[in-house]
Structure 1
């Protein structure tokens, strides 16, 4: 059986990835995800089976089917739909890739955003309007506060001089020195009041911040992704599609993506930013390359030798070890599937997720959509679906499939004289 993780959880009656016991294959808790597999206490984590799922569901029903108490019953809240052992359920390789790549990219984007926040000099190129306004407000605050400091010192000194003049002058109302100092005090007081208003206005702009995507480092990262034709979806929270991730995980594209941080810092001619950018580049180059080594093997659709499976296990351990040491972010349930359940599946069936994963099932969507257009005139929805499935079945029958002529090869076009 294959499918995305939400589908598998629904089929086997698990509440899902947000539950305390988030895994379909074992009873690990969210707190135990951060502990490496090699140092984890295995006695506290038991593998799930059809029998334990049935038992926990009975206990959940006896406890009143209260969803708030689901964690007390290993987050089993429904019956199992099919009598298919969990050892025959393929880990969702595509969605593991989507989730882990999305996490790494979000961490890289956050680092770029923090670099944008640390910029103090105005920048008018390669950035969005809200970011330019933000930097201009920060610069205005700095300059105005420096001016305020000078004006305040001069005002205090002028007030002291005025006090002495008033004490020593026989006719202060007609004393030209008193008049000049008074005008200076009035001018400085007015300027200080105006500056205070300016500072308050610009601090309000700084407090509002700027759109993340308007930052110069984030924009540079987006341009780097676009250079090898990878972009986020406008919907679904800005996630990526599978084909784009396969392309992004190529070594040359990983280098382009991470080096964009260094290129941007170099253009700003800021040594502090340059040093930080070098650290970010090195860290994420390692993270993406380590994950790409795992992805290349488990996403394949060919038979895997024992040596290749051992290579996959070593690559997964190296990636998760680096992730836990380098990032404070939480360990995703999909990372747990990669670490604990993907290698046992591959060892059992000797194939990658590309052969038995959810990609093949999801490719049927386009096929069904094309066939369904021919039957849109059938009003009854159930009848239309029945005809659709019959048509799909007839198309896939080996006897019928063998009658299809092979596709014609395109003839090479002759060059025109």
Structure 2
């Protein structure tokens, strides 16, 4: 496959983005269709940029000759992707509220400036300094235009430098330096995550990790997030005009009505599919209803359906019906753990020049650690017995 987010972004079927958004089911992929699509890709010159029109995003031959319905659903990445999508939407709406409070505070600060208002004051002062510099540069340019011939003016590097400086200063003023997480509501949400020991990675778009997503769904983190937003908003709105405070409270109430059902319904789905227990036909039918209930709630607000959410909607239940067991035993998490173990082993053989010897050493160490038969024969180092200090002194 070319790109997971391409026009045909699903490994399991031929659904396009439009089909995903509308919930339309399409025919499943299979080994025959993958090979035919790859033949079309090669026949038309093997250009990846046109694969969406020619080969339904297929750009390589299958690595393993295995039917698609035997490929495990990537439930770990589905959990990470869906939960992050919900959290990012919630954070974006909270940030919009922060921006409105930010603009109000610029013209109506409270008597005692808090940290948020100090940040606003610094930004306002920086914008004023930029405007002063722009005015000074514009005066200099005007003087140059009055005193220099046009032929010299066109070749003047000083004029070009000043014009470039003005453009950069204007961009600095127009640029939204009020980043997500800098406002009081989004900062309160981050504090809730830290309180429950849920970390977001500094890279990969501040993604979560699988165990933390499971924890958030187990405790239904949305109730804590909304409570933190409400208490923080109450503090921020105390000295705002009553009419404006009411309008902002209505927006916060809309957030509650939207995200509490979304997070709660997804938490139910997460706990019912990510386990290692066997499932009955009735339980799978209930899971199917829960998934459609969640996706229907999500689709109601007009948000686009991602490939991971499409897999949750269309391909999780067929997998459960096929294997009659939770996705915990079918997920890619075991492969991710092996990948992490290999990376740790690779650091210990970093100085080995031969790539073959390096790989053999990694594989041998991994086999020793994971094979009970071999591990039992490994001679454990004996711990040194330290003599009692008092006995040594008496001797």
Which TM-score band (shorter chain)? 0.7 to 0.9
CA distance 1:259–1:134, shift in 2 (3 Å): farther
1:46 is matched with which residue: 11, 27, 35?
27
Aligned to 1:211: 179
CA distance in 2, matches of 1:129, 1:94: 42
| Corresponding position of 2:17 | 30
| CA distance, structure 2, for counterparts of residue 290 and residue 308 of structure 1 | 16
Q: TM-score, normalised by structure 2?
A: 0.74
In 2, Cα distance between equivalents of 1:382 and 1:70: 35
Cross-structure match for 2:315: 341
C-alpha deviation, 1:403, in angstroms = 6.9
Matched, 1:259 2:233: no
CA distance in 2, matches of 1:126, 1:289: 33
Q: Does 1:294 align with 2:269?
A: yes
The answer to whether 1:110 aligns with 2:92 is: yes
> Which whole-Å CA distance do the structure 1 matches of 2:223 and 2:354 have between them?
54
Would the aligned equivalents of 1:230 and 1:244 in 2 still touch at CA under 8 Å? yes
2:51 maps to what in 1? 70
Aligned partner of residue 95 in structure 1, secondary structure: helix
In the TM superposition, residue 129 of structure 1 has moved relative to its aligned partner by: 4.7
Alignment of 1:341-360 (within 5 A): 341-360=315-334
How many angstroms apart in 1 are the aligned matches of 2:121 and 2:296?
39
In the alignment, is the contact (CA less than 8 A) between 1:33 and 1:331 conserved in 2? yes
| Secondary structure in structure 2 of the residue aligned to 1:301 | coil
Instruction: Return the alpha-carbon distance in structure 2 between the equivalents of residues 95 and 224 of structure 1.
Output: 23
Counterpart CA distance in 2 for 1:208 and 1:218 is 16
Question: 1:1-400 counterparts in 2 under 5 A?
Answer: 14-36=1-23, 40=24, 42=25, 45-72=26-53, 73-119=55-101, 120-121=104-105, 122=109, 124-125=113-114, 127=116, 129-133=118-122, 208=176, 210-267=178-235, 268-269=237-238, 270-326=245-301, 328-372=302-346, 375-376=349-350, 378-397=352-371, 399-400=373-374
Q: Which moved more, 1:361-370 or 1:293-302?
A: 361-370
- Tell me how far apart the structure 2 counterparts of residues 369 and 68 of structure 1 sit (CA, whole Å): 33
Maintained 8 Å contact 1:91/1:357: yes
Give 3-state SS (helix, strand or coil) of 1:80's partner. Answer: coil
Deviation at 1:371, TM superposition (A): 4.4
The structural deviation recorded for 1:318 is 0.5
Q: Deviation string for 1:146-179 (max 9, x for gaps)? A: xxxxxxxxxxxxxxxxxxxxxxxxxxxxxxxxxx
Distance in 2 separating the partners of 1:284 and 1:126: 28
Q: How many residues align?
A: 323
1:17-72 Cα shifts (integer Å, max 9, x gaps): 22211110110111111113xxx3x4xx2210001100111111111112232112
Q: TM-score, normalised by structure 1?
A: 0.70
Q: 1:215 to 1:305 in 2, by over 3 A?
A: same
Larger radius of gyration: 1
**Cα distance between partner residues in 2 of 1:390 and 1:244:** 32
**1:309/1:347 contact within 8 Å kept:** yes
For structure 1, the 5+ residue unaligned runs are 1-13, 139-200, 406-417
Distance change (3 Å), C-alpha of 1:371 and 1:234: closer
The 1:206–1:399 alpha-carbon spacing in structure 2 relative to 1, beyond 3 Å, is closer
Alpha-carbon contact 1:128-1:213 (below 8 Å) kept:
no
Shift, 1:74, TM fit = 1.1
